[in-house]
Amino acid sequence: QSTAASSRRHKIVVCKDLGPAMPLLTQRPDIEVVNWTEERRCDRAWLLQNISGASGLVVCFQDIIDRELVDAAGPNLRVVSTISVGYEHIALDVMAERKIQVGYTPDILTDAVADSAVMLALMATRAAGQSYTFVKNNQWPSFNWTPFAFCGPQLSTTSFSPTRTVGFLGFGRIAHAVLARLAAFGITHCIYSPRPEAAPQTERDAHLQTKHNLTEVAPVDLPALAARSDVLFILAPGGPATHHLIDAAFLRQMKPSSVLVNNGRGSVVDSIALAQALKEGWIWGAGLDVVDEEAIPGGVTAEHPLVCEPRCVVLPHIGSAAQETREEMARLTARNVIAGVLGEELPVALDY
Ligand code: DGY
């Protein structure tokens, strides 16, 4: 192809293969795709080398988009499209300074993440990790069934245990979808910690309370969130404002029968404190889709203190990994980057 022709093409660097959505990019004559093809996470050095002259960039939450990278890209960069609802990995001040649009994928993953949060709550309460490992280790043949083996706290209410309180750190779209699912379990109370700057949401809370037939939907402070929650869902974004908000002091205030579920960001929970809480029985169990150390490549090994805790179920950040959802996220990510390089309005732009 001639130099003139190639100069008319928009270069898009793709850090994550978008699977069935890749042809949306690769089959366009006006787009040149440079993509990272290895299985492991995109190498920063590779990205810095290849970004020069790019108009668009496709990333995920693992790729740090900062000033150094934007400088390496040069003045053509018009859009960063992330296949995630989270955007803590993107330096928004730099984006604003350089007038770079940011595309992301909210809403479409809400149900998939809510499903996985409920799954983790059930797994953590009902000792699914321990009992599954037991069978995989061939211990069932010698198992003497007893009434209280593998027992854990019950998520649903019953006539003999009629109240259940769920707590939320982060009470946005995904939390509401979790609450809707848990209403079917007979949950009675819903408490949440509002963002410090947020206006009271009295009407919304009254609406949720009526809709789900609950006794209470109410904002509380952090000590009350810790002390009252039977299951605490962490669905808050990462970043400095939430870093290690769940620390030893918080965990010590939780009930010994309580369970912590994290589908938000690993950085919100101090892993060492949580491992101690599990070991010493401050709380009953944990279900984690995210772990602080996952930010370090290779950081969550089989020796990680939380992976070693028998009552901790750890999954490798797969909350939105439902096939239909991921395909839709991939398509939206591709459509966002295409619109961005063409100078059009993004289908779903981050308003920052
Ligand atoms: C997100 O979207 O931010 C998730 O963490 C990855 O699906």
Q: Evaluate whether residue 349 is within a structural domain.
A: no
What's the rounded mean pLDDT across residues 296-315?
A: 96
Query: If you take atom 4 of ligand 1, which residue's CA is the nearest one?
Result: 84
Same domain for 163 and 300, yes or no, is yes
Judge if the beta carbon of residue 86 lies within 6 A of ligand 1.
Answer: yes
Domain count, the chain: 2
Token pair listed for 301: 């090994």
- For residue 319, how far is its CA from the centre of ligand 1 (angstroms)? 7
Q: Are both 335 and 195 inside the same structural domain?
A: no
Query: What is the 87 CA–ligand 1 centroid distance (Å)?
Result: 9
Structural domain includes residue 82: yes
CA 81, distance to chain mean position in Å, is 17
Binned at pLDDT 50, 70 and 90, residue 4 comes out as: very low
- The residue whose CA has the least distance to atom 1 of ligand 1 is 84
Tens of pLDDT, residue by residue over 50-68, are 999 999 999 999 999 999 9
Ligand 1 atom nearest 265 alpha carbon: 5
| Backbone phi, psi, residue 53, to 5° | 85, 0
Is residue 347 a part of any domain in this protein? no
The position carrying tokens 């808050």 is: 236
Residue 172 has pLDDT above 80, yes or no: yes
pLDDT class of 157 with cuts at 50, 70, 90: very high
Is the ipTM, as predicted for this complex, more than 0.90? yes
In single-letter form, the type of residue at position 321 comes to A
pLDDT digits (tens, 9 = 90+) for 217-244: 999 999 999 999 999 999 999 999 999 9
85 lines ligand 1 (CB under 6 A): yes
DSSP lists the bridge partners of residue 260 as 232, 286
Distances (CA, A) of 304 to 31, 39, 132, 308, 314: 43, 23, 19, 6, 10
- Regarding whether 36 and 182 lie in a shared domain, the answer is no
Q: Is the CB of 238 under 6 A from ligand 1?
A: no
* pLDDT at residue 253, as a whole number: 98
Instruction: Give dist(CA 165, CA 172) in Å, integer.
Output: 18
266 in contact with ligand 1, CB cutoff 6 A:
no
Closest ligand 1 atom to the C-alpha of 321?
7
Give, using CA atoms, the residue closest to atom 3 of ligand 1: 86
Strand locations in 69-131 (E):
79-82, 101-103
User: Is 140 within a domain?
Assistant: yes
Q: Which residue's alpha carbon is at the smallest distance from atom 6 of ligand 1? A: 84
pLDDT of the residue at 52: 98
Q: Are 236 and 180 in a shared domain?
A: yes
Q: pLDDT band at 1, cuts 50/70/90? A: very low
Q: What is the pLDDT of residue 3?
A: 46
Q: Give 92-119 pLDDT, tens digit per residue.
A: 999 999 999 999 999 999 999 999 999 9
Mutate to test the pocket of ligand 1, among 120, 294, 320, 329 (most ligand atoms within 8 A of CB): 320
Sign of CA dihedral 208, 210, 212, 217: positive
For residue 288, give its domain range: 110-314
The pLDDT-based confidence of 7 (bands split at 50, 70, 90) is: low
The CA 28 to ligand 1 mean position distance, Å, reads: 27
Domain co-membership, 8 together with 68: yes
| pTM flag (> 0.80) | yes
- Distance between CA 303 and CA 306 in Å, rounded? 8
- Rounded to an integer, the average pLDDT of 13-17 is 97
Same domain, 47 and 130: no
Helix, strand and coil percent figures for the chain, each rounded to 5: 35, 15, 45
For residue 172, the surrounding DSSP H or E stretch is none
Strand, coil or helix: 255: coil
Q: What is the DSSP string of 218-234?
A: EE--HHHHHHH-SEEEE
Q: Distance between CA atoms of 238 and 333, rounded to whole angstroms?
A: 21
pLDDT above 50: residue 257: yes
Mean pLDDT of the chain: 96
Q: Residues 245, 154: one domain?
A: yes
My answer on whether 133 and 208 are in the same domain is: yes
Question: Which pLDDT belongs to residue 82?
Answer: 98
Q: Indicate whether 319 belongs to any domain.
A: no
Probe residue for ligand 1, chosen from 58, 113, 323 as the CB with the greatest number of ligand atoms within 8 Å? 113
Q: Note if 189 is an active site residue.
A: no
Q: Are 320 and 328 in contact (CB under 8 A)?
A: no
CA 86 to ligand 1 centroid distance, Å: 6
Q: Is the residue at 156 inside a domain?
A: yes
Residue pair 281/254 in contact by the 8 Å Cβ criterion = no
Structural domain includes residue 46: yes
The verdict on 141 and 62 lying in the same domain is no
Residue with tokens 């007893």: 146
- What DSSP letter does each residue of 281-338 carry, written as one string? TSSSEEEES--GGGGSTT-S-TTSTTTT-TTEEE--S-TT--HHHHHHHHHHHHHHHH
Q: Residue 5 pLDDT more than 50?
A: no
Task: Give 289's pLDDT tier (boundaries 50, 70, 90).
Answer: very high
Query: Is 85 in the same domain as 126?
Result: no
Yes or no: say if 336 and 154 are a contact pair by the CB < 8 Å rule. Answer: no
Residues 261, 136 share a domain: yes
Are 192 and 238 found together in one domain? yes
Cβ-based neighbours of 81, under 8 Å, separated by 6 or more = 56, 57, 58, 59, 102, 103, 104, 333, 334, 336, 337, 340, 346
> Which residue from 61, 317, 323, 336 has its CB within 8 A of the most atoms of ligand 1, so it is best to mutate?
61
Residue 21: give its domain's CATH number: 3.40.50.720
Domain assignment of residue 83, yes or no: yes
Q: Is the CB of 104 under 6 A from ligand 1?
A: no
Stretch (H or E) spanning 141 = none
Q: Give residue 196's pLDDT band: very low, low, confident or very high (50, 70, 90).
A: confident
Residue 19: count other Cβ atoms within 10 Å of its Cβ.
12
